Amino acid sequence: VLYKLPDYIHDGGLDFYLVNPLSTKFLVSFSDINLMLIPYMFSGIILSIYSLSLLNITPNIVEITLLVFIVACYLTVIYSLYLFLMSFYFWLLESNIEHLYLSLGYIVRFPLDILNNLGKFTYLNIIPLGLAAYITVRIILHKSSWQEIFLVFPITLIIYVISDRFWHFALKSYTSASS
């Protein structure tokens, strides 16, 4: 949702968010939510349920709870990484940083088992875009360890804190377009 940040910086629209009493990050992040994408979310859930039924896999309540938790952490990681990259727009206004993010996310479409150990480590720990896809499938197939599951929250928290601090650092560099 942060895709409008470069426009806000360029035309001074960020000034409006800075003078509001709510968090600037919150306002910029959630000011323009596309509700037309909700059907895609439900179609993904329905497709997942259908796929599980074809495989004769019935997750229990613990697995469903873990899956919801992992997906929530994954969404936080996605948001945090995108916030981190978009924060560079405070210095590099004429760049296409969001294309870098989309390129990094492309690899998540494939099973991480096709990567070597360094590739898996990178996409699970350094740029943890493979976090949800890899661990959720392992939970469903009963191949995950509790160590993997318990590492998800600290990794998510660390990434969120780093991106939040970087956002605030970058925000200090903002100069109004109207001044």
Least confidently predicted of 105-114, 146-155, 161-170: 105-114
The string over 11-44, giving b where at least 16 C-beta atoms fall within 10 Å of a residue's C-beta and e elsewhere, is eeebeebeeeeeebbebbbeeeeeeeeeeeeeee
Q: Distance (Å, rounded) from C-alpha 2 to C-alpha 53?
A: 36
- Which residues make Cβ contacts (< 8 Å) with residue 90, sequence separation at least 6? 9, 170, 171, 173, 174
pLDDT single digits (tens) 36-74: 888 888 888 898 889 888 988 888 898 889 888 888 988
- CB under 8 Å to 157, separation ≥6 — which residues? none
pLDDT the model gives residue 162: 95
Q: What share of the chain is helix, strand, coil (3-state, %, to 5)?
A: 75, 0, 25
- Give tens-digit pLDDT for 83-134: 998 888 888 877 777 777 777 667 667 666 777 888 777 776 666 777 667 7
Position 153 scores a pLDDT of: 87
Confidence (pTM): 0.80
Q: With contact defined as beta carbons under 8 Å apart, do 172 and 9 qualify?
A: no
pLDDT of residue 81: 86
**pLDDT value at position 125?**
66
